[in-house]
Structure 1
Amino acid sequence: MAVQGPTGGGKSTFLQMLGALDRPTSGEIRLDDTALSAAGGRSLARIRAERLGFVFQNFNLIPTLSAVENVETALAPLGADGAERRRRAEGALADVGLAERVAHLPSELSGGQQQRVAIARALVKDPEVLLADEPTGNLDEATRDEVMDLLEDLWRERGLTLVLVTHDSAVADRAERHLHIQRGQVSEQSGSRRAAPRAASPAPPGA
């Protein structure tokens, strides 16, 4: 699902509430049978660590850590031992096409490669929902399309829910569902602007 709207309209706040990073002043947010808006801080921290993945425009990689070490940071709250973290992190980097870049620092990677590391970090814990805030905003057009191809492939293969905030209509046009947010008001645009490409298997349900 793609989320669009003018700057300051509430898109990032909407995403933060979906990601259990902020609480609504009214209403309810549910993840399956869990009411996020009523859960305690410890429960929300566990949900964020286990069930939600986040990808941001600015990558948010730790500059002094290698690619594999950056991905491992997502597993630290889950209590996995060092060998297990390394195995899973290397596997996640291989899934995004960076098996040969595990030891590279962020400064030694291109923007597209850094975003792939960020995606691997979000997916290494096998989340149910991936929330992406302008994930292609700092990328050129060709790299943007590569990253979106990767996200779509992972969406199909893993059956996760993908919610993506973007100002880029070329990115939004790839989604099956579209929300528009303006002045805090949410409306859903009817119909898909174009069918998702290479639909080799039934698409998972939307958000």
Structure 2
Amino acid sequence: MFQLENVGKTYKQRDRTVRALDGVTLSIGAGQLVAIQGPTGGGKSTLLQMLGALDRPSEGVVRLAGREISRLRDRELADIRATEVGFVFQSFNLIPTLTAQENVEMGLEPLHLKPAERAERATQALASVGLADRAGHRPGELSGGQQQRVAIARALAKQPKVLLADEPTGNLDEGTRDEIMDLFEGLWRQGLTIVLVTHDSSVARRAERRLRIAGGKLTEKN
């Protein structure tokens, strides 16, 4: 699924240079559930951005399904993000004036699907996360956990090869956090590749693999 070889990422920040990733080499197989932990500023989100074709490395190679994505043009990267990678974030990023159904359908706009197919995909995605009966509700009428489920449905509706989640339970209470992790685990057992960033060790312990990144350097946890 993913292969990273000696990936480095350097940023200019005011009057200094920041080394966000430092020679990261990593392989993630299809169908794995991987958790990435580490201190704030250690490189977690930067690594996730590399996997999701949201950023390019300063050096090294990033491959997705055998294709080198680190050298693609912006339009090609946008196509990958639209069709192959689903994203879930700590903030749900839902449009408050739209229903759950409409929010999920909006996520399909880059695919240029016919309205009927877009509606069908959104309906199926909401059903897959247990929200078939909430399709007509707006975000303000949903709990935090339900809003995150809508965000997950929006990502799943694209039928991606991989789901990338950045602190997906960070805004949720303990019980709701466990419900969302149950959902992720179920998707993983159905064969979806999932990579998630988390500060929560109880979340990370449910993953098949645990990685730690600090100071831009990656290590595998037992």
TM-score (norm 1): 0.90
Q: What's the offset of the Cα at 1:62?
A: 1.0
| Partner secondary structure for residue 175 of structure 1 | coil
Larger strand share, 1 or 2: 2
Q: What's the offset of the Cα at 1:49?
A: 0.3
Q: 1:13 is aligned with what amino acid? A: T
Whole-angstrom CA distance in 1 between matches of 2:216 and 2:198: 16
Alignment of 1:116-135 (within 5 A): 116-135=149-168
In the other structure, the counterpart of 1:71 is 104
Instruction: Indicate yes or no: 2:208 matched with 1:165.
Output: no
Whole-angstrom CA distance in 2 between matches of 1:176 and 1:87: 32
Whole-angstrom CA distance in 1 between matches of 2:106 and 2:57: 28
In the other structure, the counterpart of 2:209 is 177
Whole-angstrom CA distance in 1 between matches of 2:192 and 2:74: 24
Q: 1:38 aligns with which of 71, 76, 83?
A: 71
In the other structure, the counterpart of 2:126 is 93
| Partner secondary structure for residue 36 of structure 2 | strand
Q: What's the offset of the Cα at 1:5?
A: 0.3
Larger helix share, 1 or 2: 1
Identity, in percent, stands at 68
Whole-angstrom CA distance in 2 between matches of 1:84 and 1:32: 26
Q: What's the offset of the Cα at 1:84?
A: 1.0
| Partner secondary structure for residue 61 of structure 2 | coil
Whole-angstrom CA distance in 2 between matches of 1:97 and 1:154: 12
In the other structure, the counterpart of 1:113 is 146
Question: After the TM superposition, which parts of structure 1 deviate over 4 Å for at least 4 consecutive aligned residues?
Answer: none
Cα RMSD (Å): 0.7
Whole-angstrom CA distance in 2 between matches of 1:189 and 1:136: 21
Whole-angstrom CA distance in 1 between matches of 2:185 and 2:155: 15
Instruction: Indicate yes or no: 2:175 matched with 1:149.
Output: no
Whole-angstrom CA distance in 2 between matches of 1:82 and 1:66: 16
In the other structure, the counterpart of 2:17 is none
TM-score (norm 2): 0.84
Whole-angstrom CA distance in 2 between matches of 1:142 and 1:32: 35
Q: 1:53 aligns with which of 86, 98, 103?
A: 86
| Partner secondary structure for residue 149 of structure 2 | helix
Q: How many residue pairs are counted as aligned between the two chains?
A: 189
In the other structure, the counterpart of 1:199 is none
| Partner secondary structure for residue 37 of structure 1 | coil
Q: 1:163 is aligned with what amino acid? A: V
| Partner secondary structure for residue 203 of structure 2 | helix
